[in-house]
Amino acid sequence: MSFLRIKNLCLTFGDWTLDVSIELAAGRCLGIIGPSGAGKSTLLSLIAGFETPYSGDIFIDAHPINDLEPSHRPLTFMFQENNLFNHLTLYENIALGCHPGLKLSQIDRRQIEIALSATELSSIAARKPSDVSGGERQRAALARCLCQKQPLLLLDEPFTSLDPRLRSQMHQLVNALRKQHGLTVLVVSHMPHEVAHIADELLFMQDGKIKEHGDPDQLLENPTHPQLINYLEFTSSR
């Protein structure tokens, strides 16, 4: 049974239309690739409730979520920017995932300690975001997502600004946390071969449509769709 089911989801901007259907089992990681303007980030925004679809339905664990406000949907979202507050410590930023007013229970504090440990930030939790590296800030943003304890994690190119070594480390961390916490993950990336290392399935979008969806190795090593072939040639030449 599918944990995430998206049925005929449509959104139109002028002459451009997004129209997708997806099914993803619990605990799986779906990598979403495609050129700029393909609809990758728009798809995540629709799932998160930041955009309203023209038609179609979204189900999480068989429950419809179209009518739920973003804050009431059983998911958490990590953006391209880490959205950390510079006047707060890393600990306090992460704690916002438990309670927006930082009114923390003992259970909350335990959850924060678990998230800090999982992301290897315990030793620098008292520092401000401006006093740590970019990779550490991204780990803090990921730890904040963990504190929300939601089953679905949406990642919209959050590691783009990091160098290749740090990106690889963050992808490995996401994969480890997914398996440890049983998360279902959707990750948007413009680096297909990097995201393929953690994705169970790969989805290629262009012009608001799904052109290919399947095994990452098969799609990247033996692409057959002309638009996917062109996209892979373009990304490999950059």
What CATH topology corresponds to 1-74+152-238? Rossmann fold (3.40.50)
Residues of the chain predicted below pLDDT 70? 82, 237-238
| 3-class secondary structure per residue, the chain | CCCEEEEEEEEEECCEEEEEEEEECCCCEEEEECCCCCCHHHHHHHHHCCCCCCEEEEEECCEECCCCCHHHCCEEEECCCCCCCCCCCHHHHHHCCCCCCCCCCHHHHHHHHHHHHHCCCHHHCCCCHHHCCHHHHHHHHHHHHHHCCCCEEEEECCCCCCCHHHHHHHHHHHHHHHHHHCCEEEEECCCHHHHCCCCCEEEEEECCEEEEEECHHHHHHCCCCHHHHHHHHHHHCC
How confident is the model at residue 89, as a pLDDT?
94
Sketch the domain layout of the chain as residue ranges.
1-74+152-238, 81-149
How confident is the model at residue 237, as a pLDDT?
65
How confident is the model at residue 162, as a pLDDT?
79
How confident is the model at residue 236, as a pLDDT?
80
What pTM was computed for the model?
Answer: 0.90
How confident is the model at residue 98, as a pLDDT?
86
